[in-house]
Amino acid sequence: MLIFIIGAIIKTKYTIVYRLKMGELELTKTIIEFNNGDEIESFFLVKQSLVKISSKNKKYIDFTLMDKTGEINAKLWEVTDNDEKQYVNNTIIKVRGIISVYQGKLQLKINRIRLLKEEDGIKISDYVLVAPEEPKEMLMCIETYINNMSNEDIKRLTNRIVQDNRQKLLIYPAATKNHHSVAGGLLYHTKTMLLLGEQVCKIYDFLNKDLLYAGIILHDMAKIQEIDANDFGVASEYTTEGQLLGHIIMGIKNIDRVAREEDIDNEISMLLQHMVLSHHYEPEFGSPKKPQIPEGEILHMLDIIDARMYDMNKALGNTREREFSERVWSLENRKVYKANINIEEVQKI
């Protein structure tokens, strides 16, 4: 047994936790460490569980599983009615299976599966992807930008909408799958865009800071209504209103309603609604109008920069040096290359 354990440890390239339990060797790996051909046994949070029909007309469950390091698609091919009822969204499961590659991405084929047991000592909060900063600190930063606004109408309208959504803002993701789809992701996306916007305003000093900052804060706020997320900030699907209207339409409705309730200047309300309406830029992405004010144009550009940098950084985190990442759907299926450049060496050149 000792020789077997030593051999297994030498074979792997990653830090793996081994333990003996009931005469078996159990291996725990995080998703970011998975490689093609790995046999794994671990706990995961079910982010999404969909019952589908195979080409052979048999039911199977298509899972999106997650831990704190990432997500992976998994398939359970032999499915019973009880499986459909048990393995639903936001449950923790223990699975044993094999990692393979399908259409260029890693996938887990589940051979054994069970629900979490009390004696396992696992908490759902240990398996949730979170933003890299504390939610309360990010919210305080955003509130500082609001408090420093000079225009009282913009300040009052923006603050009212933020306070109305304060509790959910602390946990909500900015998406279900793409950029900032982590607990607190909406706050993180907003904060980094504000930091970018502040630097842009130093260069283009003709921009109205209050209008730009308010547009940044409000442009995705209605994702709180669009996305159905649990108390841990895990989102698996869209609400009915989100599917029928989307966060852009819901966002401008919220601005219009609050502006009327707070007796906000009509032009300010109209300009902020225009910024939210146009920030996706193209009709196929939900914006029937392109930006027609400079602050709206900058808002769109900052949104693109922040979303793409987040997704590129995420892809690089899962990629070895001097190799390409998997294709990233949100980046038009591009691969991202992880260079290995020593900064000190570059400075000497």
Domain 2-127 has CATH 2.60.40.1530: no
* Rounded Cα gap, residues 19 and 128, in angstroms: 24
Supply the pLDDT for residue 315: 83
Supply the pLDDT for residue 281: 86
Contact 255, 268 (CB under 8 A): no
- The predicted model scores a pTM of 0.77
Tell me: the pLDDT tens digits for 115-163?
Answer: 988 888 887 777 888 888 999 999 999 999 999 999 999 999 999 999 9
Q: Where are the domains of the chain?
A: 2-127, 135-311, 318-348
Reference 72, options 114, 51, 112, 100; nearest CA is 100
Supply the pLDDT for residue 90: 83
The residue type at 68 = K
* Rounded Cα gap, residues 112 and 122, in angstroms: 18
Q: Which of 155-159, 244-248, 327-331 has the lowest mean pLDDT?
A: 327-331
Q: Which of 25-29, 123-127, 157-161, 297-301 has the lowest mean pLDDT?
A: 25-29
Q: Say if residue 4's pLDDT is above 60.
A: no
Supply the pLDDT for residue 63: 94
Q: What is the mean pLDDT of the chain?
A: 87
Provide mean pLDDT across the span 63-73: 89
Q: Say if residue 29's pLDDT is above 90.
A: no
Which of the four pLDDT bands, split at 50, 70 and 90, describes residue 103? confident
